[in-house]
Amino acid sequence: MSEIVANDNRRSWTDFASGFLLAASFGYLLVSPTVGFGWIESWHNEQRAAQVVLLAITAFAFGAMVLDARYRAQLPRIHWIVIAVFALGAISAARAKYIDAAYAEVALHFLLVILIIVTAAAVARHPKRAARLAQYGALLLLATYVLGVAVRYGAAVSLWRPLDLDVLLLGYANPRFPSALHALLIPFAASLAADPARRRLIRIVSFLVLAGIWAINLALATRAIWFAYMVSLPLLSILLGRRSTARIAVAVVASAGAGVLLYALLFRGLPAWIGFGESLQARSLDQLASGSNRELLIRSSLEAIRSAPWLGIGPMQFAAIPGVWSAHPHNWLLQLASEWGLPAAGFTIWGLATLFRRARAALSGTPASDYGPVAFITAGAVALVYGLVDGSLVMPVSQTAAALVFGGLIASSSRLAFPERLKPSANGGVPLIAFGAAILGVVCSTHLSRFVVQTVGAMTAVEQKGASAVLWPRFWSNGFLPFRSR
């Protein structure tokens, strides 16, 4: 079986289908934050609606693709920890006050797991090609953002207009939202800049784009991206060894240094010298020096955990806590523990530790010149560290990008073990689990789509009335709206 999976290069319709799904995912990451789709006025709400459409298409396509035995042989094993976490989440949702929203949250995350599975199968099929596409795709996304900011910067200068967030934000309502996506893309662009096998022009362009991204994020006054790399790079160096991470780490650090200099020139020096506005400078410095006002969120999370330690208060129920200014605690671990329960959070940590341990073992058998697996591992670590201080794993665009990253990470860390673990004759449960996941994916997409249709209208009505309590975004831009309770 291993020889069939490794050497059978014949294309089937599932290869084209999985390629289409990954292309659609990349198109979502590219189009939704830049020009949008023209569906909903709110950028965040449109990005969420488009994400649900993408995930629903992925779920239905996966349901058809698992009928192909050759495709099932390419699938990663669905670990029992994943099953346990979602079982706990489903039980917690059944006990929640706002049950429709709770099951919508569980459905959303299960559909993200389907996207991870589809991505892992595609990457495991052609690992080097997939890594190369991820690298150039990330570079394209970052370059598009840098180019957009450059055009707006030039327009502001030509109009003698003070620099403000309109210059820096393309398709986002919050400065942290683009930063959350940039954090996941930087390792792939850095792997291009660090790879001596790439053409010199590609390496230079990658470095310049990275410098621009760091300068923009400094101007946006987003601290989480800097924290994520300050923690992740040393940690990965310890876990994976400096031999594996040195070149990418050097590229990240060097481009960040160049970005600081670029920020000092474009966003501090020129505005002061020419005199066309310094509002962005003052905002950036004040924002970077200010506190984050997260004490209430941490305290509310701990109180929710104490009130329901085993099953939590229910998925998406944090936003219904009275007097809390945010729809989520800006920490994925606290969110999981408070809403799904401590056992679910513990299983998740166990599963992630197992995944990174296998990634380290797989990396030891790859050549030092293979930068793809290191990029996936780095991006995965950055996503988790970033999510400890911000809502990067809650927002639709960065959430989708994280699913793609973890799909690539799973394939990169264990692709050599796929055939042995998934041989149908040796493990008769694999087809059954795959079919079960496909059926459940269709059910989840149906419920989530119904939730979207029902809540969009109600949300619009509430916004038109001028709701007094507007929450920070989670599912929709006004956070969680209690449309119906038990």
How high is the pLDDT of residue 393? 95
Residue 430 banded pLDDT, cuts 50, 70, 90: low
| Global pTM exceeds 0.85 | yes
Mapped onto helix, strand or coil, the DSSP state of residue 36 is coil
For 265-297, the pLDDT digits (tens) are 998 888 878 777 655 654 554 555 555 678 889
For 135-193, the pLDDT digits (tens) are 999 999 999 999 999 999 999 888 888 888 888 988 887 888 999 999 999 999 999 99
DSSP 479: B
User: Which stretches of 12-164 are DSSP H helices?
Assistant: 13-31, 43-65, 69-72, 80-94, 99-125, 127-158
Instruction: Identify whether the C-beta of residue 86 lies closer than 8 Å to the C-beta of residue 106.
Output: yes
DSSP 95: T
Sign of CA dihedral 174, 176, 177, 182: positive
Structural domain including 459 reads 2-465
**What does the pLDDT average to over 91-114?**
96
Residue 369 banded pLDDT, cuts 50, 70, 90: low
Mapped onto helix, strand or coil, the DSSP state of residue 9 is coil
Residue 473 banded pLDDT, cuts 50, 70, 90: confident
In the chain the first and final C-alpha atoms are separated, in Å, by 51
Minimal CA–CA distance to 202: which of 147, 260, 143, 257?
Answer: 143
For 207-220, the pLDDT digits (tens) are 999 999 999 999 99
How high is the pLDDT of residue 21? 96
475 assigned to some structural domain: no
**What does the pLDDT average to over 323-340?**
93
Q: Please give the residue that has the higher pLDDT: either 252 or 423.
A: 252
332 assigned to some structural domain: yes
pLDDT above 50 (res 469): no
Q: How far apart, in whole angstroms, are the C-alpha atoms of residue 282 and residue 382?
A: 28
**What does the pLDDT average to over 451-458?**
84
273 assigned to some structural domain: yes
Give the amino acid at 29. Answer: L
Q: Please give the residue that has the higher pLDDT: either 23 or 434.
A: 23
Residue 480 banded pLDDT, cuts 50, 70, 90: low
- Distances 51 to 27, 37, 473 between C-alpha atoms, Å: 11, 12, 15
Residue 56 banded pLDDT, cuts 50, 70, 90: very high
Task: For residue 321, report the phi and psi dihedrals to the nearest 5 degrees.
Answer: -70, 125
Q: Which of 138-142, 370-374, 456-460: highest mean pLDDT?
A: 138-142
403 assigned to some structural domain: yes
Minimal CA–CA distance to 400: which of 132, 103, 49?
Answer: 49
Counted residue by residue, the chain has a size of 486
Residue 465 banded pLDDT, cuts 50, 70, 90: low
Number of structural domains, the chain? 1
483 assigned to some structural domain: no
**What does the pLDDT average to over 69-94?**
91
How high is the pLDDT of residue 460? 64
How high is the pLDDT of residue 471? 62
DSSP string, 229-250: HHHHHHHHHHHH-HHHHHHHHH
223 assigned to some structural domain: yes
477 assigned to some structural domain: no
476 assigned to some structural domain: no
How high is the pLDDT of residue 156? 87
